[in-house]
Amino acid sequence: MLEAGDDVTYAIEPPRPLDAQAEAIALDVVYEDGDLLVVDKPAGMVTHPAHGATDGTLVNALLAHVEHLPGERIRAGLIHRLDRDTSGLLLVAKTDDALGTLGRAMQARYIEREYRGIVVGVPDDPAGTIRGAIGRDPRNRMKYAIRSEGKPAVTHYELRERLAGASELTFRLETGRTHQIRVHMAALGHPVVNDPIYGRSDSRLPLPGQALHAWRLRFKHPRTKQMLSFESEPPPEYLATLALFRRSEPGRG
Residues acting as catalytic residues: 83
Report the DSSP pairing between strands 36-41 and 140-146.
unpaired
CA atoms within 13 A on the CB side of 159: 14
Count Cβ atoms below 10 Å from residue 252 Cβ, excluding itself.
10
Strand partners, 228: 219
Q: How far apart are CA 28 and CA 144, in angstroms?
A: 30
Cβ-count burial of 77 within 10 angstroms (0-12 exposed, 13-18 middle, 19+ buried)?
A: buried
Amino acid occupying residue 175 = T
